[in-house]
Amino acid sequence: MTILHHTIGLPDFTQELRCFQPVTCYQAVVNNLEDAHELIDTAISTALKESKPVYISISCNLVAIPHPTFSREPVTFSLAPK
């Protein structure tokens, strides 16, 4: 087994997510390209609405793959004036 960065050398890749759950208002775990657009847009809009941090994890095998969903319409949201 190869040790992946940002891990403690165990094959459990949920340890970082579990660490951030208590201190974030939304957690997005992107494991496939089909869900990436919605999960990332939802995380960003939730962070803006809640004015709190979110956690976004993108699987290391996806980061270099171009994806056509950036041409889709974004997840809608609105912010009330402060």
**What are the per-10-residue average pLDDT scores of the chain (82 residues)?**
64 84 96 89 92 92 74 71 70
Q: Check residue 62 and report its DSSP letter.
A: T
Beta strands (DSSP E) in the chain are 27-30, 55-58
What's CA 82's distance to the chain center, in Å? 26
Q: Does the global pTM surpass 0.85? A: no
What pLDDT does residue 43 have? Answer: 95
In the block, tokens 């941090």 appear at 53
**DSSP string computed for 23-35:** G-S-EEEE-SHHH
First to last CA, the chain: 51
In sequence order, the β-bridge partners of residue 27 are: 55
What pLDDT does residue 34 have? Answer: 86
What pLDDT does residue 50 have? Answer: 93
Domain regions of the chain by residue span: 25-71
What pLDDT does residue 81 have? Answer: 72
